[in-house]
Amino acid sequence: MDHTPPPFFKRGPAPLVRLFFFATLSLALLVIDARFRYVEGLRGWLALAAYPLQRAALAPFEVGERVAGYFSTQARLVSENERLRAKALEYSQDAQRYQAAQAEASELRRIINAGERLELKAIPAEVLYASRDPYAHKIFIDRGAVQDIRPGSPVADESGVIGQVTRVHPFVSEVTLLTNPDQAVPVQVVRNGLRAIAFGGGASGMLELRFTAANAEVHNGDQLVTSGIDGTYPPGLPVATVVHIERDADHTFARVLCRPAAGVDRGRYVLVVANEPGARPARPEEVQAGKDRREKSRRAKKAAPVDAAKEPETPKESDAAR
Amino acid sequence: MPVRLSTIIASFALALFLNFLPWRDLRLMPDFVALTLCFWCIRQPRLIGLGVGWMLGLLSDAGNGVLLGQHALAYSILAFLSVWLSRRILWFGAGLQALHVLVILLVAQGVALLVRVASGTAFPGWPIFVGPIFGALLWPLVTWLLLLPQRRAQREQAI
């Protein structure tokens, strides 16, 4: 723009002024979205506007799959059928044994006066696409508020947990994967019941057990399942396998890396496990009062599971540690 | 020959569609919306500008589930640069135009990256700048494709 137009041509404000305006608007939105979350409604409407295009982007793959399915040969179908039948037989045995075990477990739980475990309701969903931001570690699934998906529900595939629903739009939901560095799952080592928290490892696609004492009894190959003590993830879902442990005398905590059990970045079909808000017992009275403090001490409790027994008496200490 | 508004809208819809396709490695893919926006800002600076860029950015943000405003900021800066340089760029041939576009796309990508890093994400590594290079390489093709409707109309008029 090396010349200014004569004033009788109406052209609106100068480009630089417009840039300043829109940049300020964007920055304000960024801050509001990152700090206060006031703009979820706007985001919902925008997501609804983008939905037809997102659906359309998946159509070619669906059509391709259907065409490929049409042309799949007889022999392949027969062999697949046989394999599936063998698998179904195997599973039916497991299912029978599971029912017996379930009955036995509930009997035992009644004997020791533990609460009944609730049956889990799962909603199947299809993965629509991954976020374009490769470091967001988020996927979108084709079920939303209309299908009764609630934010916070765990998401699993056939072999284990893959993440958690973080935002719910009318027809799609956003799932934050386990590998997101901000995502944490309370876990338990199957072998000895040791509690820990698994954090996402980011681009490496691994999980990391943070705040695990250097002398904690964790071995390579240990299976980790959800512990269920947070009330969000149901207990017993497979999460990861320990693959690498670094114990350094200079550090208080060991560095434990685990590989996710589920195909976190693969697979097209997932299950959204409905977490019933009524399934949890109410919080004790005095803890309700200091909600903020409870949050802190709860996180600290997760952070130092080894000291969990003596933690309630020393909330200040654990706050400082955090 | 004036461009029809439907062409512009259809091209943006197509670009958003291409961006939402489930690509294998998203870092290496060019941002089609940025490329299309850049094209229209250079060709039609009085029709398409910062406002359109900002709205497209918001749509991308919501569709990808990133912080609201990240792409909006990047696209408005991209639109500003394209509008500002539009007369200069149109003087050059396809190759030199692509070089200019490369710089504009890199700046936009850099802004988005800066926002992401400022919001607490780790630096995603250098491959993130490969996408803009592919985008610039696609520039001659995009120019040919998006000018096709106008050229056809011109030919029909000549006949």
Output the pLDDT for position B35.
Answer: 93
- Amino acid type, A40: E
Separation of alpha carbons B136 and A2, rounded Å = 26
Kindly state the tokens that stand for A43. 């985001």
Rounded to a whole number of angstroms, the distance from the CA of A199 to the nearest CA of chain B is 14
**Band (B123; pLDDT cuts 50, 70, 90):** confident
By the CB < 8 Å criterion, does B126 face chain A? no
- Does B65 sit within 8 Å of A129, measured CB to CB? no
User: Which residue among B25, B59, B70 places its CB closest to the CB of A50?
Assistant: B59
Residue A2: CB atoms within 10 Å: 5
Q: Any idea what the Cα angle at residue A211 is, between residues A292 and A237, rounded to 5°?
A: 85
E-strand ranges in chain A read 121-130, 138-141, 154-157, 160-168, 173-177, 184-189, 195-200, 207-213, 223-226, 238-246, 253-260, 269-274
d(CA A101, CA A115): 17
**Residue in B26, B59, B67 nearest the CB of A134:** B26
Question: Residue A319: what pLDDT?
Answer: 42
Q: Which pair of structure tokens corresponds to residue B156?
A: 């029909």
Instruction: Confirm if A197 and A212 have CB atoms less than 8 A apart.
Output: no
Residues of B with Cβ-Cβ distance to A34 under 8 angstroms: 67, 119
Asked whether the beta carbons of A190 and A223 are under 8 A apart, the reply is yes
- List phi, psi (to 5°) of A117: -85, 140
Residue pointed to by tokens 């799609």: A172
Chain A positions touching B27 (Cβ under 8 A) are 134
Q: How far apart (Å, rounded) are the C-alpha atoms in residues B50 and B74?
A: 11
Average pLDDT in chain B: 87
Nearest alpha carbon to residue A241 among A225, A228, A226, A254: A225
Answer for the pair B25, B4: CB distance below 8 angstroms, yes or no. no
> What is the reported pLDDT for A312?
42
Q: Which of A1, A57, A167 sits opposite B65 (nearest CB)?
A: A167
Lookup: tokens for A303: 């952070």
Q: What ipTM does the predicted assembly reach?
A: 0.83
Whether residue A108 lies within 8 A of chain B, CB to CB, comes out as no
Q: Which of A201-205, A211-215, B131-135, B151-155 has the lowest mean pLDDT?
A: A201-205
- How many residues can be counted in chain A? 322
Query: In 3D, which of A234, A246, A237, A238 has the Cα closest to residue A210?
Result: A246
Per DSSP bridges, beta strands A138-141 and A238-246 are unpaired
Task: Per-residue pLDDT tens, chain A, 322 aa: give them.
Answer: 556 655 555 566 777 888 899 999 999 988 888 887 777 788 888 888 888 887 888 788 778 878 887 777 777 888 888 999 998 998 888 888 888 888 888 888 877 766 555 567 788 888 877 776 666 788 888 888 888 888 888 898 878 888 899 888 888 888 988 888 888 889 999 888 888 888 988 777 788 888 888 888 888 888 898 888 877 788 888 889 999 888 877 788 888 889 888 876 677 788 888 766 555 556 666 544 545 544 555 555 444 444 444 444 434 444 444 3
pLDDT-derived band at B110, boundaries 50, 70, 90: very high
